Amino acid sequence: MSPRPPTVSRRRSISDPLAFALLPPPNETPAEREQRLRREAEAKKVNDDIDDMLKAERAAQKKRKEVKILLLGQSESGKSTTLKQFQIIHAHSQFQAERSAWRAVIYLNLVRSVRRILDAITLDESDEESPYGGPRSPTALLPATRQRLPELATLKLRLSPIIAIEEQLIQQLACSEENDTRIMLPPRQGSPEFGQRGSGEISVRTGVNWKQAFAKFKGKRPTGEGNILPRNDPNDPIHVLHACADDMNTLWNSPLIKDILQQRRIRLEESSGFYLNEITRITDLNYVPSDDDVLKARLKTVGVVEHSFSLDKGTEKGVDWKIYDVGGARNQRQAWAPYFEDVNAIIFLAPISAFDQVLSEDPNVNRLEDSLLLWRNIVSNKLLQKVHLVLFLNKCDLLQMKLDNGVMLNQHMTSYGDRPNDYDSVSRYFRNKFAALHQSFSPNQDREAYIHLTCVTDTRKTSEVITNVRDIILKENLKDSRLI
């Protein structure tokens, strides 16, 4: 008896759709079979090549080195400006593409500075005499100054359109609920926050595409079809700003205004986003922001901003960099800890020009003392004992300006004693003070802290510092990984 044919396996094969699809067509000729086999071989080769390419990419990715840098420091210490400097050096095309959005931020910074002056020349209850004698507030105007305020009434009226421009820009920034824009109006003269650094700031959450909200303000010279100059857009705020430019200059250069700001304890020159010395240029109808303008622009971001770039040349070939800018206000510092775990280096920024200022969050805390305490907490943290530390003693230009104007350090830091009040002596004192904290409190005595005196709005000098810091961090990181 002959064996029965394997009908079960044939039914199983035919029941499999893939196996059925791969069966040769019925009545296939030898020539057709040869062509089919050739096509299958070519398809297999393409598939194998793709698999080999993916394997090679995975292998190359494993060989790449990732370096994570954390930017730390109190609010308005220069962290965001340092991040912009990294972008200028390593992602300049992206930095250039975002200029149109920054133009609107620069306008907002300018009009809010004018708004603060207009608020300062407005009397309120804090300027009244106390029942016990003397003014109600240390920021009250002197009686002789109050008597001269009517001189500014006409100028204040002519500048009223500035308020509408401020509201227009704020509404454009907060154009939808999704943006979750946080807006804080300037405090009144009698409040403790009045006149302090950062009072009345506008802030946006990270992840909010505020640059898209400001995208309508193009501000580019024509490079192709569809590019509109600001002067040709009737809704662009530049038209009102240009019309008010002379009045803004008159306001800012008025000796009476200088006296009022001094009595109100308002120092606009020391704040980020200060453009009052460049009103004519910025309100020009053809204005396009420069790199320096963008670096000075201020828009507070709540949360963590991440910037990534890759370097594939020389000793930095195959290195991916991630830089995190973490909010420095007191209520944001709890967000620092999660980034301590796998960070390679910390760039800590301490604004040493702030020795005569207090925190906007707490007027009882000196800003420099706060930076010293933060630095001590960072260097003494055992979780960070293997993390490389870079210290930027920042805003040296403002420090020198203050010292040249006669502001005495020993009136705000008694430990300075009777040392000379010149820039070299003061900067050396701050450098030694921060270095001593690292030496005394670091759990890793072999770790070095790289200290630089900086003005991060100066692109040329900061570029040199950043390049040097980047090379040091990379070298130390590769040494830790035993790759060199």
Which pLDDT band holds residue 480 (cuts at 50, 70, 90)? low
**Residue 295 labelled as part of a binding site:** yes
Check if the beta carbon of residue 345 is closer than 8 Å to that of residue 67: yes
Looking at CATH, the fold of the domain delimited by 67-95+304-478 is given as Rossmann fold (3.40.50)
**Residue 52 labelled as part of a binding site:** no
Kindly compute the dihedral angle of the four CA atoms of residues 376, 369, 456, 96, in this order, to the nearest 10 degrees: 90
The sign one gets for the Cα dihedral 338, 479, 471, 352 is positive
d(CA 289, CA 275): 12
Question: What number is the average pLDDT over the span 239-248?
Answer: 95
- Alpha carbon distances (Å) from 30 to 21, 23, 38, 393, 481: 19, 15, 12, 82, 61
- The two beta strands, 345-351 and 388-394, are parallel
| 153 pLDDT above the threshold of 60 | yes
d(CA 1, CA 11): 23
| 147 pLDDT above the threshold of 50 | yes
**Residue 446 labelled as part of a binding site:** no
Check if the beta carbon of residue 423 is closer than 8 Å to that of residue 403: yes
d(CA 158, CA 208): 35
Residue 396 CB partners (closer than 8 Å, separation 6+): 352, 353, 423, 427, 453, 454, 455
pLDDT of 30-79, one tens digit each?
A: 888 888 888 888 888 888 888 888 777 666 656 677 889 999 999 889 99
**Residue 396 labelled as part of a binding site:** yes
- Top-confidence range, 100-114, 118-132, 328-342: 100-114
Which pLDDT band holds residue 198 (cuts at 50, 70, 90)? very low
Token pair belonging to 8: 């079960």
- Top-confidence range, 317-321, 427-431, 472-476: 427-431
pLDDT at 81: 92
- Alpha carbon distances (Å) from 394 to 81, 298, 455: 11, 16, 5
pLDDT of 422-464, one tens digit each?
A: 999 999 999 999 999 999 999 988 898 999 999 999 988 898 8
**Residue 258 labelled as part of a binding site:** no
* Mean pLDDT lowest among 15-29, 192-206, 288-302: 192-206
**Residue 296 labelled as part of a binding site:** yes
**Residue 256 labelled as part of a binding site:** no
d(CA 396, CA 427): 8
**Residue 209 labelled as part of a binding site:** no
* Domain map (residue ranges) of the chain: 67-95+304-478, 99-296
d(CA 238, CA 217): 10
**Residue 395 labelled as part of a binding site:** yes
**Residue 382 labelled as part of a binding site:** no
Q: In terms of pLDDT, which residue wins out, 309 or 263? A: 263
Amino acid identity, position 409? L
Token pair belonging to 285: 């109808």
Kindly compute the dihedral angle of the four CA atoms of residues 108, 112, 118, 124, in this order, to the nearest 10 degrees: 140
Which pLDDT band holds residue 197 (cuts at 50, 70, 90)? very low
**Residue 297 labelled as part of a binding site:** yes
Partner residues linked to 71 by β-bridges: 325, 347
